[in-house]
Structure 1
Amino acid sequence: MQTADPSALGFDADRLARIDRHFAHYVDDGRLPGWQVVVNRGGETVHASTYGRRDVEADIGWSDDTVVRMYSMTKPITSVAAMMLYEEGAFELKDPVSKFIPSFGESRVYRSGNHMKPVTEGLAEEMKIWHLLTHTSGLTYGFHHQHVTDAIYRARGFEWGAPDGIDLAETCDRWAAMPLAFQPGAEWNYSVSTDVLGRVVEVASGMALDEFFEQRIFQPLKMTETGFAPTDEQRDRFARLYSPNPANGRAVISPLEAAAGARMFLSGGGGLVGTAADYVRFTRFLLNKGELDGVRLLGTRTVDYMTQNHLPGGVDLEAYGRPLFAETQFDGVGFGLGFSVSLDPVANKVLGSPGEYAWGGAASTAFWCDPVEDISVVFLTQLLPSSTHPIRTQLKQLVYQALVD
């Protein structure tokens, strides 16, 4: 990617080089297959680099146009899609999810028992659209391995994705029939909420999720390399998926690699593949408060509203979230409508700015937007799970230490 003079945009080029040196060690000792990082300020790229391989076994290097599984970096895009419809009056944030997916009107909440014989109770109040956007719905993920409801998901084929042969509508009906982990609005729990939100987008718009994304978001923003599966042209550029070998920590081919790219289940929570260049455009659209290159998809106030902390009482995830795997640290971090939101970098003990919003994906990808410094950063690799290494916190400290203006 073409880069601007870092010094003209407040960065020290020698200090930016520390990013590359640091993460090169991850590849050299086998912890990562390869990676790509792009640092953007004021709409200009000040640092872009790649290192390592997208296919270790075939010795194919990581290139600027490598295509990766974005996993949960899909979630902010689905949230933007939903808020575009919100701006059109398609729903209110307090509307019940059952208005669009009737099966959720019959949901039950786990109270006791094991995954074979759970004891449940009725809903104190129905799940709302804002519960989906904030992960306070009571839904969960099978891969958490923390709660009885997680085990129920796994027993029914919902650990990483959905069983073969069912579409998004059927998937949501099956989730609605499983007990919620808690009453909607009572806690924060990282979950399939955004997948359900994707189905709301389908019903409210009358379009399949992939069609909505392509016509309403990707084409206007010129995100030409992003979709729910690699195209025939992209397959030679599609990175392999890796996981750490428990014996030595070295990256080896993940057993989940073959599951990537299925089209049947359009996962608004984790189904997209794409490139760094495309996602950088998405981050600039966000930092420009809903507009890019003269194309506006969201109003400025909507983006401001989405990137505020929406957790009840303004608390952070440490106070309101469940202590389990997630794409962010909990201290000093709240949650908005589709993003984590930095409330207090001092409490988080990582360099940064109040008001940053961010998220990442299960294969250790990450992005953040800093409206105070007008910075966005995108980091891509393909190592599952993202909790393996402290890549995101280390990347932040290395980016911010390079600012000298």
Structure 2
Amino acid sequence: MPSPSPDGLARITRFFDDEVAAGRLPGAVVLIQQHGRPVYLKSFGVRDVRSGVPMTPDTIFALHSMTKPITSLAAMMLIDQGRMSLSDPVAKYIPAFADEKVGVEATGMDGSRVLKLAPPARPVTIMDLLRHTSGITYEYIGGALIEHAYMAAHLFGGRFDNAEFADRIAALPLARQPGTLWRYGHSTDVLGRVIEIVSGQTLYQFEKQQILDPLGMTSTKFLLTTPEEQARMAEPLPSDPILVAAERARRSHPEWESGGGGLVSDITDYARFAQMLLNGGELDGTRYLSPAAFKDMTADHIGDGSGVERDFFYFPGDGFGYGYGLAVRVEPGEARPPPPGSIGELKWDSGSGTYFLVDPKIDMLCILMEQTQNERGRITPAFTKLVYDAFAAPN
């Protein structure tokens, strides 16, 4: 089994040093771990360019969509315990979903495009929420008329918790028939509400008791409450307007425990979660999912024979399918040369630039913590290639 070369690791250091020096990143923290031990852990730049406080391994980052794997694990634990089922209609737990309709673009009498409502061919299920085939979308994806309906609904107006947010989503048209298209969206936020109903706890209470505390993830939470914690928070560059606005929106709703994007964490905490995944659902003698449930969570549920299409916004990536909350590598991919990595690799990332992967073939995980929307599309693939180049290079 290969181990990383010193020269390969040095290239990672040079890459991030250059990013910070050029002003494209305020800073980052990078971890590569193999056989359960760190082989590379470095901090670059500063937490916040305004304060100049250096990045450190205990810096806290907004995870945004890297929250989704944790929420998905929580749901799978309840399924594993027999407390709910993948085939359950969401309306069993959230009655407003019983009246869900599908938005279909049609031509009006005056020739304009209008959104007509059609009944769903089948109910939205828990499986649909886990694999993003519910027809629930984000307000910036799904076609002009669906996007307009989402924007007009003022989803984020006023104060709201998971119960209120799920009801707001249920009042909106689905972008497609359930089970027919992989499309990213608020599915995992709705799943967070289902977890609350089934468990009888808030989402954070359940995740803290069942996942975060047992794993020792003491810095992972929806809301930072002490000045000491808040001082550890990483900030995007002021010149990163999309992420600055997203962070302002997230922080303006401390009452909302968003299962799709609300957690903050540090690299040490997330490494515990990633190592548990790399170990097949177990860490330090505690098993979080049965082997069968873990296998189901990390299998491709949108591939051939699933009936699920992939649209232009297909996000898991070249060579990847999607399980329950995680992308899973199922083939080399169409690019030549193919993207680096291994069949069976699991990964996810976020709009704030955070990213992780676990590779069972070489017993390795890597995590990138940064706060950038501007540069993440470029940095994430470059980082992945540097990691795999380090393992491929002669020692």
Give TM-score scaled by structure 1 length. 0.89
Distance 1:390 1:281 in 2: 26
- The runs of 4+ residues in structure 1 deviating greater than 4 Å are 113-117
- State the SS of the aligned residue for 1:16: helix
Q: Mind listing any 5+ residue stretches in structure 1 that lack a counterpart? A: 1-7, 246-250
Determine the structure 2 residue equivalent to 1:391: 379
Contact 1:98-1:104 within 8 A present in 2 as well: yes
Contact 1:135-1:189 within 8 A present in 2 as well: yes
Question: More relative contact order in 1 or in 2 (CA 8 Å, sep 6+)?
Answer: 2
Counterpart check, 1:198 vs 2:195: no
Which amino acid is the alignment partner of residue 297 of structure 1?
Answer: Y
Q: Mind listing any 5+ residue stretches in structure 2 that lack a counterpart? A: none
Higher mean displacement: 180-189 or 230-239: 230-239
Determine the structure 1 residue equivalent to 2:283: 292
Distance 1:146 1:62 in 2: 40
Distance 1:312 1:396 in 2: 24
Which amino acid is the alignment partner of residue 184 of structure 2?
Answer: Y
Which amino acid is the alignment partner of residue 322 of structure 1?
Answer: D
Distance 2:18 2:131 in 1: 36
Give the deviation of 1:347 after TM superposition. 2.5
Contact 2:303-2:321 within 8 A present in 1 as well: no
Distance 1:208 1:263 in 2: 14
Contact 2:48-2:237 within 8 A present in 1 as well: no
Change (3 A) 1:164 1:139: same
Change (3 A) 1:33 1:116: farther
Distance 1:385 1:135 in 2: 25
Counterpart check, 1:306 vs 2:294: no
Change (3 A) 1:243 1:310: farther
Superposed, which structure 2 residues align to 1:175-186 within 5 Å? 175-186=169-180
Determine the structure 2 residue equivalent to 1:41: 34
Which amino acid is the alignment partner of residue 50 of structure 1?
Answer: S
Contact 2:319-2:333 within 8 A present in 1 as well: yes
Determine the structure 2 residue equivalent to 1:111: 104
Contact 1:241-1:256 within 8 A present in 2 as well: no
Determine the structure 1 residue equivalent to 2:326: 339
Contact 2:242-2:373 within 8 A present in 1 as well: no
Contact 1:244-1:383 within 8 A present in 2 as well: no
Determine the structure 2 residue equivalent to 1:3: none
- State the SS of the aligned residue for 2:365: strand
Q: Share of identical aligned residues, percent?
A: 38
Distance 1:71 1:190 in 2: 13
Determine the structure 2 residue equivalent to 1:17: 10
Distance 2:205 2:260 in 1: 16
- State the SS of the aligned residue for 1:60: coil
Distance 1:131 1:37 in 2: 33
Counterpart check, 1:380 vs 2:369: yes
* Match for residue 322 of structure 1 among 311, 324, 330: 311
Which amino acid is the alignment partner of residue 131 of structure 1?
Answer: D
Superposed, which structure 2 residues align to 1:37-76 within 5 Å? 37-76=30-69
List per-residue Cα deviations over 1:105-137 (Å, max 9, x = no partner). 110001125999621101110001110100000
Determine the structure 2 residue equivalent to 1:219: 213
List per-residue Cα deviations over 1:3-24 (Å, max 9, x = no partner). xxxxx97111221111121122
Determine the structure 2 residue equivalent to 1:364: 353
Determine the structure 2 residue equivalent to 1:132: 129
Determine the structure 2 residue equivalent to 1:173: 167
Counterpart check, 1:354 vs 2:324: no
Give the deviation of 1:36 after TM superposition. 0.9
Determine the structure 2 residue equivalent to 1:234: 229
Distance 1:384 1:230 in 2: 22
List per-residue Cα deviations over 1:343-367 (Å, max 9, x = no partner). 1234252110011111111101100
Change (3 A) 1:50 1:314: farther
Count of aligned residue pairs for this structure pair: 385
Change (3 A) 1:116 1:171: farther
Distance 2:72 2:96 in 1: 22
Counterpart check, 1:141 vs 2:138: yes
Give the deviation of 1:150 after TM superposition. 2.1
Distance 1:145 1:22 in 2: 36
Which amino acid is the alignment partner of residue 259 of structure 1?
Answer: A
Give RMSD over aligned pairs: 2.3
Contact 1:362-1:385 within 8 A present in 2 as well: no
List per-residue Cα deviations over 1:57-111 (Å, max 9, x = no partner). 1211111110010000000000000010001111121111111111111100011
